[in-house]
Chain A
Amino acid sequence: MCLGIPMQIQEINGNVATAAMSGTALKIYLDVLDEKAKVGDYVIVHAGFAIHRIDEEEAKETLKLFEDAGYLAPNQDTGDSP
């Protein structure tokens, strides 16, 4: 119902930011984001708005669950560094 894309913030100017994913940059708005975002952060973007700053620790936790269950090699690279 609500498509949301993880994008990385490249530039912030007041309530407006530029965010990118896979080489595509978009102008996004930060009005409803509940915590301060900084350049380099990943946010979930819905209808042009950042609605959530992705919690890196929580993301790692989910992957760690897979690791603990033997689904992932412990040293597997989990993505690009921000």
Chain B
Amino acid sequence: MSQLFLQAQPQLNFWNGLNGTTGLWIKILIGLALGVGLIFALMSAPTQTRRPIVAFVTFISGLFYVLYFFFPRPIDRQPGELPLDFVESVSFYIDDAFGVVTDFTAILSGLLLGLGIYSLLHVHVKRIIKAHQNWFFSVVLLVSMFMMTIVGYWDWITRRGEAGASLDDPANWSAINYTKDLMFDGLLQAMDAAMFSIIAFYILSAAYRAFRVRSVEATILLATALIVILSLMGAVEFLWNGMIDGMTGKDPGSVVNNLKLTEISKWLRDTVQGAAIRGIDFGVGIGALAMGLRLWLSLERGTGGGN
């Protein structure tokens, strides 16, 4: 088994191939077909059969990372070095397997992209065929997706090989490169930015309607937010700190310097906000640990175990 892991390292062997070669594409397609076949086989298997398989795979997958984090790690391991005892054998084994497991994780995450595309097609093609309300938007979505895919790959192909290097300079672009730039940078990225900028409108509306001094807690929150906001405004900070400097005669030892906007906001960030964030992170961490354990041991409903 260790040999299998070593084979999966970057050196060229049965398990990989040179980027862009036919051999690699064939291996990818065979792997994809096997993966999809396995998924469908599991989906068509009875629940009683599927559950223990899923629970077993989940446990083994989780066990690897538990061992990776808690088992003693090899220190200053040299290439070709042999393990001295059982503990070192296991640690070498985990060390060698890590790259393979990481690749598997990346491949599975990549498959999720494919699953997303399948789901998108499934939902929207059905909407178009059955002429549901606003079916036209589904057409726009699918046309946009396919156009971006085709143009993106076409552009990628033109950038391969000797001519590719010259395309870093837009002066050498052809129509397809301009089309891809228009679609990616001119449309997709611009719409992305536009969508995000809409948040500014919601923030303003929420600040006007909801940020009210109704209790002591709300007042403290409002005052704190005001100080942090003002500290982000260089002009206000300049005037306020200038006023303090005027009062202290720029004496660095004066206690009044603590009233500078920068000092107050720094204290808020380091002492109040930092502590609060740490507390929240700690709580989230414990929650994630509990949830992780439930998932790992298949105790969570709908994960192969549980009721």
Instruction: Please indicate whether A and B come from the same complex rather than being unrelated chains.
Output: no
Interface residues of A (CB under 8 A from B): none
Task: State the B residues within 8 Å of A (CB).
Answer: none
